[in-house]
């Protein structure tokens, strides 16, 4: 049973109420979510195919991050932008790392950095798998976010965060994962931050989308984004 957690700690109840009855674009969830048999490097010339149990990869659009992806950068960018991230690694002294992760996800505050104002729903949770749907406030876009411990703890936690609709996500998936990761780093976890240096093409697409939108709410927050609000929008 899906438990809808409308944790409006940052976004006011009045703001949510003004959009709750509006038409939503939730999109269609992928049919192959979860821990399944996956193969990477299938089309690579220089890397051998590898088959394993894990989460779904991304489709090359700049609206997704996953720990599943081809090994070589040149192979990943043949189908789009590089969206591969490293597994999240818990500290050796954490006796129940997946439980720690699940708690950090549930403590996430919708509305921070002007994203996920519609709240989130824990769709499925086991001792080694967590599937959560995050909802945008205005148009109800749903992002599918998964975490899995499919191997030993030395292999880390697999992660996937992806939008269902559109080409770019305005940086939402990076903001969300970085926020959850920051709370875990404070507990000793080793997690790489997603930045314009690590994923240049993803952030270029997000910044370009902000430049071309009239929705100023998407361009609030950082000094760079606020500067864009003075520039004419396109389209």
Q: Average pLDDT across each block of 10 residues of the chain; the chain has 235 residues. List them in order.
A: 40 50 71 96 95 96 97 95 97 96 97 92 97 92 96 90 94 97 98 97 93 60 43 29
Torsion over CA of 53, 191, 8 and 228, rounded to 10 degrees? -110
Q: Is residue 104 part of a domain?
A: yes
Number of domains in the chain: 1
pLDDT at 25: 65
pTM for this one? Answer: 0.82
Residue 144's nearest CA partner among 41, 207, 64 is: 64
pLDDT at 20: 52
The kind and range of the H/E element at 54 are strand 50-54
How far is the CA of 146 from the CAs of 39, 74, 123, 132, in angstroms? 18, 26, 10, 6
Residue carrying structure tokens 């990477």? 40
How does DSSP classify residue 217? G
pLDDT at 4: 43
- The number of beta carbons lying within 10 Å of the beta carbon of residue 167 is 11
Q: Is residue 130 part of a domain?
A: yes
Q: Is residue 235 part of a domain?
A: no
Sorted by sequence, the CB contacts under 8 Å of residue 211 that are 6+ apart come out as 228, 231, 233, 234
Q: Is residue 156 part of a domain?
A: yes
3-state secondary structure of 47: coil
Residue carrying structure tokens 């720690």? 100
pLDDT at 13: 47
Q: Is residue 234 part of a domain?
A: no
- Chain centroid, CA 183 distance in Å: 15
Q: Is residue 28 part of a domain?
A: yes
Whether 33 and 130 have beta carbons less than 8 Å apart is answered as no
Q: Is residue 20 part of a domain?
A: yes
The kind and range of the H/E element at 76 are helix 73-76
Q: Is residue 233 part of a domain?
A: no
Residue carrying structure tokens 């009239």? 214
pLDDT at 129: 98
Residue 189's nearest CA partner among 86, 78, 35 is: 86
- Domain with 163, as residue range(s), is 3-228
DSSP string computed for 86-137: PPBB--TT-S-HHHHHHHHHHT--TTGGG--TT-EEEEEE-SSEEEEEEE-T
* Whole-number Å distance between alpha carbons of 60 and 81: 5
* Whole-number Å distance between alpha carbons of 70 and 76: 6
């Amino acid at each position: 049973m899906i438990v809808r957690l409308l944790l409006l700690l940052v976004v006011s109840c009045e703001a949510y109420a003004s959009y709750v009855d509006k038409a939503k674009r939730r999109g269609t969830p992928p049919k192959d979510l979860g821990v399944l048999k996956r193969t990477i490097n299938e089309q690579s010339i220089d890397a051998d195919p590898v088959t394993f149990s894990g989460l779904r990869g991304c489709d090359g659009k700049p609206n997704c991050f996953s720990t599943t992806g081809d090994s070589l950068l040149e192979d990943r960018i043949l189908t789009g932008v590089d969206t591969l991230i490293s597994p999240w690694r818990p500290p050796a002294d954490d006796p129940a790392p997946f439980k720690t992760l699940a708690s950090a996800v549930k403590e996430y505050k919708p509305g921070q950095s002007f994203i996920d104002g519609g709240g989130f729903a824990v769709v499925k949770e086991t001792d080694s798998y967590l599937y959560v749907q995050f909802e945008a406030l205005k148009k109800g876009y749903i992002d599918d976010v998964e975490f899995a411990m499919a191997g030993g703890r030395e292999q880390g936690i697999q992660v996937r965060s992806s939008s269902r609709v559109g080409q770019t996500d305005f940086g939402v998936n990076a903001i969300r994962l970085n926020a959850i990761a920051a709370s875990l780093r404070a507990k000793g976890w080793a997690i790489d931050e997603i930045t314009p240096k690590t994923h240049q093409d993803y952030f270029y697409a997000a910044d370009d989308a902000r430049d071309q939108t009239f929705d100023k709410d998407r361009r609030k927050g950082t000094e760079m984004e606020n500067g864009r609000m003075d520039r004419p929008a396109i389209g």
